[in-house]
Amino acid sequence: KNEVEQSPQNLTAQEGEFITINCSYSVGISALHWLQQHPGGGIVSLFMLSSGKKKHGRLIATINIQEKHSSLHITASHPRDSAVYICAVVRGPPDKLTFGKGTLLTVNP
């Protein structure tokens, strides 16, 4: 069993829909990242959180440390949100990342 599990693996939505991607982990962590990866490889960190909730524009990330679970929400989804979203947990030191396999999101116009 992977230490970091994401669901769903693939998600197709219509523009404007509310999106939720889930991440569960089985190890103790100091923080959790949500990352976005576009075709071609570039990875961008969206959020790093260790408790509670963070919001940036249309993106919201929550984490429940007791339940070892995090969610990434996208409100009013747009085709430009289409990408792979990856959950990664921080176990430190040395604070290396352990990644989930990613969720491929496709938002159709």
Q: Where along the sequence are the contacts to other proteins (CB under 8 A)? A: 4, 30-31, 33, 35, 40-45, 48, 50, 86, 88, 90, 92, 94-102
Residue 67 CB, shortest distance to other proteins, in Å, is 21
Residue 81 backbone dihedrals phi, psi, to 5 degrees: -80, -10
For residue 39, whether the previous peptide bond is cis, meaning omega lies within 30 degrees of 0, is: no
Separation between Cα atoms, residue 5 and residue 22, nearest integer Å: 8
**CB-nearer residue toward other proteins: 60 or 84:** 84
**CB-nearer residue toward other proteins: 17 or 99:** 99
